[in-house]
């Protein structure tokens, strides 16, 4: 039997999102159908999506944290380590609600745990178990350790300062996503194979494209990492993929088209 009260709860939570507010405003303001309003919203995301993150104001569900730089050795004392500012997604209704609804609170916490670790790493930082337990999730450290163990058993490796020596495994997992894309796999297929969200897959591919474009323009790896807001290691990983991997014609054409657009816009 379907629990109607439960369904209503998820419906109420979903209606609190900005996307839903935009759709309602379009429907009421332009007297159009829900289908047409959603089509307008999709177009807005497609055209202006790359500019949304340029705002100085944080989007709902995101928060800034100061964490240890990925460039520092794990042997360096925390008091002496370089600190960097990263923006983490604590809550994303569109991505998180279906996970909690279908798989429960533990699965949601583990999904968020993997997401924030990868977001920090993408921006050149590394979280610690203490950071996650005490500053972000407000739970016991044992809970986080248990979640990390469960994720590893699912072949999902969250980059942390304590696992920096094993970062090759994390990078290989990240490389797998980009390598699957250059082989012609679609986002949905890659997400299923790698246990990542489609949004995460899209983010990795987008960063890869940015790195390729900047590399073509002659920027050095340090500048590329700075401009794309990723770590130097990850920039090097993406450059190596571009230089030594076989790219299917369709993806090669996509990259070449991107480079041509950049030249025309200069």
Taking the domains of the chain in order of start, what are their residue ranges?
62-265
Q: What is the pLDDT of residue 167?
A: 47
Percent of the chain exceeding pLDDT 90 equals: 25
Average pLDDT, the chain: 80
pTM for the structure as a whole? 0.55
Contact 62, 112 (CB under 8 A): no
Largest distance between two CA atoms of the chain? 62
Q: Rounded mean pLDDT of 30-45?
A: 85
Mean pLDDT across 168-177 = 60
CB count within 10 Å of CB 160 equals 23
At residue 63, the pLDDT reads 93
**Among 206, 106, 222, 117, which Cα is nearest to 170's?**
117
* Radius of gyration in angstroms for the set of CA atoms belonging to the chain, rounded to a whole number: 20
Check whether 32 has a pLDDT greater than 70.
yes
Name 171's Cβ contacts closer than 8 Å, sequence gap at least 6. Answer: 233, 234, 237
42, 48, 86: which is closest to 67 by C-alpha?
86
Bridging pattern class, strands 62-69 and 83-89: antiparallel
Beta bridge partners of 125: 69
SS3 state of residue 173: helix
- How far is Cα 248 from Cα 184, in angstroms, rounded to an integer? 6
Write out pLDDT tens, residues 114-172: 999 988 887 888 898 999 999 999 999 999 999 999 988 887 778 888 776 444 444 54
Please give the pLDDT value at position 168. 46
Q: Are 123 and 84 in contact (CB under 8 A)?
A: yes
pLDDT the model gives residue 55: 52
């Amino acid at each position: 039997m379907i629990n109607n009260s439960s369904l209503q709860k998820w419906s109420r939570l979903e209606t609190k999102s900005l996307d839903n507010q935009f759709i309602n405003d379009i429907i009421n303001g332009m007297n159009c159908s829900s289908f047409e309003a959603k089509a307008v919203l999709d177009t807005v995301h497609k055209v202006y999506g790359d500019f949304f993150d340029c705002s100085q104001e944080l989007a709902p569900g995101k928060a800034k944290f100061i964490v240890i730089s990925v460039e520092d050795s794990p042997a360096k004392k925390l008091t002496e380590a370089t600190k960097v500012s990263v923006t983490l997604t604590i809550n994303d209704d569109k991505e998180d609600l279906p996970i909690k609804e279908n798989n429960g609170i533990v699965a949601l916490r583990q999904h968020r745990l993997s997401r924030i670790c990868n977001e920090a790493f993408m921006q050149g930082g590394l979280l610690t178990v203490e950071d996650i337990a005490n500053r972000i999730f407000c739970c016991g450290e044992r809970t986080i350790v248990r979640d990390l163990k469960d994720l590893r058993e699912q072949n999902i490796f969250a980059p942390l300062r304590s696992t920096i020596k094993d970062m090759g495994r994390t990078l290989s997992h990240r490389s797998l996503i980009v390598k699957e894309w250059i082989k012609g796999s679609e986002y949905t297929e890659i997400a299923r194979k790698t246990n990542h969200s489609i949004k995460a897959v899209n983010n990795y591919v987008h960063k890869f494209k940015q790195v390729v474009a900047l590399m073509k323009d002659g920027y050095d790896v340090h500048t590329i990492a700075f401009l794309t807001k990723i770590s130097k290691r990850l920039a090097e990983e993406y450059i190596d993929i571009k230089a030594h991997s076989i790219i299917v014609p369709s993806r090669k054409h996509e990259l070449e088209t991107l480079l041509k657009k950049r030249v025309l816009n200069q």
